[in-house]
Structure 1
Amino acid sequence: MDQKFLKKVKLFQQKEITENEIYLNIAKKIKDEKNRTTLEKIAEEEMKHYEIWEKYTNEEMQPVKREVLYYTFLAKLFGYTFAIKKMENQENQEELEYIFDQELLKEIPEAEKIYQDELVHEKKLIDLLDEERLRYIGSMVLGLNDALVEFTGSLAGYSFAMQSNKLISLAGLITGISATLSMATSEFLSARSDEEENPTKSATYTGIAYLLTVVLLIMPYLVLPDQWYGIALGIMLLLVILIIAVFNYYIAVAKDLSFKQRFKEMSIISLGVSALSFIIGLLVKRFLGIDL
């Protein structure tokens, strides 16, 4: 075989055996039988492709261990749907186009079928995955979005109304905990009235998303000196951007959605409410003549 083709075949052969091990590693840790079986089927396809390429290279390949460890860790941290879809992202699409050029398709008869499997069949199998946390993504979005909009606005208003990190932290904790309980309860009642399968889980995901956001946003006020409320506010707003970016990236990968549009929308809303609340805090302090 031409050395140019051989290089491409070896590249894809190693990719197949690496992904085979990743799928098997992730499958071992999944309790749901349907999802585990789906991942095992994909792993089996990867192995079949590996064996086809091996006939042409006459070489055995070992999985790239750092990639196996990386995606196994991602699956544990963010869920297996996120890890797998990240692995099969646009970068891999470009890699496929590089390997499966027209010359190679003519040179190796089986290459066309492998190419179609990678583009279509495996994607269909991945779309069959039904991870629990993604079924409740709407509840997570509700909790996170409300916390970012409402609580960011509250902290911005408190910052220049109170001008004391201790007081802002106290007011923020009371507001945050109360709002978490309120949001979780509202989500439970809403889910039950809509006759959802498990309203308790919907409420739990909403409450957890809200509470984690509250804790992260209030942290600068808790750890910085009392009079550094302006710096705490700045750090809090940076955390808002970071949380929005991370969460929307997760959603974009796991649910095949647009990252830029969702990130832009949530950022404008959250920071807009913060700016308005900041102004309200200044006005309240000035016109009521309160000096804390």
Structure 2
Amino acid sequence: KKIIIDEIEHETFFAKEAEKFGISNIRDFVLGMNDGLVEILGAVTGLSAVYVNNPLMVAVSGSIVGVAGALSMGIGAFISVRSQRQVNKALNEKIEILFDVSPSKALGTLKEHLKEMNIPPQVIEDVVKKIDDKKALAKLLIKEDDENEIRSGLFTGFAYLFGVLFPVLPYFFAPSSLVALPFSILFAGLALGTVGFIISVLSGIDIKKKVMEMVVAGFSAAGFSYLFGKVIQAIFGIDIDV
């Protein structure tokens, strides 16, 4: 019993520390970085087919798209988290009103909810009898979302920008886009593999399978984008040698 209590205390401590240092937002960071990697790798690969001899144009264009994407992702994460919390708050208030107006109906709804969670009937009855605070009962129905929307937006946006660096960086130094492209794919592939590894460790998914999934998805996007760039170049007769 003492060991179990100690474990619970340790888990609670680490959870609080994780929240304090923003480690709980690692999901936002991973998703943001993954989007930045895949989207910008696809963009610079497609542009490489058009601006073969102008890698700087590819680098600048990719960077502009990356900044716009980071702002979009960051704002999207901010709005999403904020909206979810507002919805949960409104639902909690409605449930509290329901407990005031029709306690029996509210308790019935609560029991059904707990039953769906496979909680034994006797435990449900004990919970309902012992907890007489309507706010506490309402929280059993609607989970409060205490995620910080500002931190979530910042993590997502900066992670996206961080992901942009890997596919874009080679184009600032290479003499041509075709020279930069293999390095861009290599750097992005290594980064995608790392992201896949982190996701698999956090979620318990098979590491090899997840890493391959991430890398193949990224490279597929790059391949299709390059072909699309070539098609556009052929259709519109674009021939840029500078």
TM-score over 0.5 for the alignment? yes
TM-score by length of 1: 0.54
- Distance in structure 1 (CA, Å) of the matches to 2:5 and 2:191: 34
- Distance in structure 2 (CA, Å) of the matches to 1:123 and 1:231: 54
1:270 aligns with 2:218: yes
- Distance in structure 2 (CA, Å) of the matches to 1:241 and 1:122: 42
- Distance in structure 2 (CA, Å) of the matches to 1:257 and 1:122: 28
Kindly tell me the number of residue pairs found equivalent between the two proteins: 172
Find the residue that maps to 1:224 and give its secondary structure. coil
In structure 2, the gaps of 5 or more residues are: 86-144
- Distance in structure 2 (CA, Å) of the matches to 1:282 and 1:170: 20
Find the residue that maps to 2:35 and give its secondary structure. helix
1:139 aligns with 2:89: no
Aligned Cα root-mean-square deviation (Å): 2.3
Structure 2: which amino acid aligns with 1:202?
Answer: S
TM-superposed CA distance for 1:209, in Å, is: 0.8
In structure 1, the gaps of 5 or more residues are: 1-116
Distance of aligned partners of 1:122 and 1:275 in 2 relative to their CA distance in 1, 3 Å threshold: farther
1:207 aligns with 2:157: yes
TM-superposed CA distance for 1:179, in Å, is: 0.9
Matches within 5 A, 1:27-106: none
Name the counterpart of 1:290: 238
Q: Identity across aligned pairs (percent)?
A: 28
Residue in structure 2 matching 1:152, options 32, 37, 41: 41
- Distance in structure 2 (CA, Å) of the matches to 1:123 and 1:219: 45
TM-score by length of 2: 0.64
Name the counterpart of 2:96: none
TM-superposed CA distance for 1:194, in Å, is: 1.1
- Distance in structure 1 (CA, Å) of the matches to 2:27 and 2:35: 12
1:182 aligns with 2:72: yes
Distance of aligned partners of 1:150 and 1:122 in 2 relative to their CA distance in 1, 3 Å threshold: farther
TM-superposed CA distance for 1:189, in Å, is: 0.7
- Distance in structure 1 (CA, Å) of the matches to 2:6 and 2:197: 22
TM-superposed CA distance for 1:147, in Å, is: 1.1
- Distance in structure 1 (CA, Å) of the matches to 2:5 and 2:209: 29
TM-superposed CA distance for 1:241, in Å, is: 1.5
TM-superposed CA distance for 1:127, in Å, is: 4.7
TM-superposed CA distance for 1:254, in Å, is: 5.0
Greater relative contact order structure (CA < 8 Å, 6+ sep): 2
- Distance in structure 2 (CA, Å) of the matches to 1:244 and 1:208: 16
Structure 2: which amino acid aligns with 1:206?
Answer: T
Structure 1: which amino acid aligns with 2:48?
Answer: S
Residue in structure 2 matching 1:244, options 192, 203, 208: 192
- Distance in structure 2 (CA, Å) of the matches to 1:165 and 1:148: 18
